[in-house]
Structure 1
Amino acid sequence: MAAVRRLAPGDVAGFRAMNALFADVFEDPESYAAALPSDRWAADWLANPDHIALMAEADGGPVGALAAYVLPKFEQARSEIYIYDLAVLEAVRRQGVATALIDALRAIARDIGAWTIFVQADIVPEDEPARRLYRKLASEEITALHFDIAP
């Protein structure tokens, strides 16, 4: 069973391991490994209480990771949490790692008084296992489109 921990401010090595895991699992080194942020950037990112980085570890190494953002809302005095990335090594999938990461995030959400956690999933066949997990844990499923707008 994997142990889940929140990366602490200053845990730049953990931050780098998280990025490497995302690059590997998502097969996307261009986004996660090609232009690594400086140690200062990583430390500042980790020090922000609205940034959440969780690492699942087993047998002395990372097997899963989750990156999320606390989003303070404007329409009410409340926050929600957005799961930006969640990945688990293929060798340990379907062993509860992703659920353990989400459960750890749920505890953080309760501690800060967040009213909900949300996540987006791509509508492609290879993401069906993730969508099954989210359906199991979620209270509802909303279909939406995602648009990237250049700055």
Structure 2
Amino acid sequence: MAGAMKVRRLGLGDIEAARDLNALYADAFEDHDTYRHDRPDDDWLARQLAKDAIIIVVAEADGCIVGGLTAYDLPKLEAARSEIYLYDLAVNAAHRRHGIATALIAELQHIAADIGAWAVFVQADYGDDPAVALYTRLGVREDVMHFDLPPLPRTKD
């Protein structure tokens, strides 16, 4: 990496940075339909960036986003606490193996402590060995099952 890396949380006014992060996700996940198709408009992105429960952290070098993560603060009902779900994490291929993902997660852990969250949790797919190795190094592994349940429109009686 040529320039110094800066890690920061996005906020109001960071609409273009949010778009750049989505483009990074599209490339890193090889999923251009999800991350570039039907892109949200500026008003939508501004509303999301204004929400405390949506945590977007980026790593920048030489004025470009080289990594980022999206996480969600999930308040719990059974206790006066929340958990943070790390949903997306990606680093530009040319900038991998330089500690960027670790720095992004560390910033998320600091944010979690600042807001009094109980834990940060993340899923990894079988076969994604780099992600599994990173998360194993940083936390405690739990083997769980994940199910996607479709929304069901209400039927009129």
What TM-score comes out, normalization by structure 1 length?
0.95
Q: Are 1:71 and 2:74 an aligned pair?
A: yes
Question: Aligned pairs, how many?
Answer: 148
The counterpart of 1:7, out of the listed 7, 10, 16, is 10
Q: CA deviation at 1:60?
A: 1.7
Kindly report structure 1 stretches of 4+ aligned residues shifted beyond 2 Å.
none
Distance 2:142 2:125 in 1: 12
Structure-to-structure mapping, 1:1-151, within 5 angstroms: 1-124=4-127, 127-138=128-139, 140-151=140-151
Structure 2 gap segments, 5+ residues each: 152-157
Q: Return the letter of the residue paired with 2:69.
A: L
Deviations 1:67-121 (A, max 9, x none): 0000000110001100000000111111100000001101100100001000000
Distance 1:11 1:85 in 2: 18
Residues 54 and 66 in structure 1, CA contact (< 8 A), matched pair in contact too: yes
Query: Over aligned residue pairs, what C-alpha RMSD do you find?
Result: 0.8
Q: Return the letter of the residue paired with 2:45.
A: A
Structure 1 gap segments, 5+ residues each: none
- Give the aligned partner of residue 154 of structure 2: none
Larger radius of gyration: 2
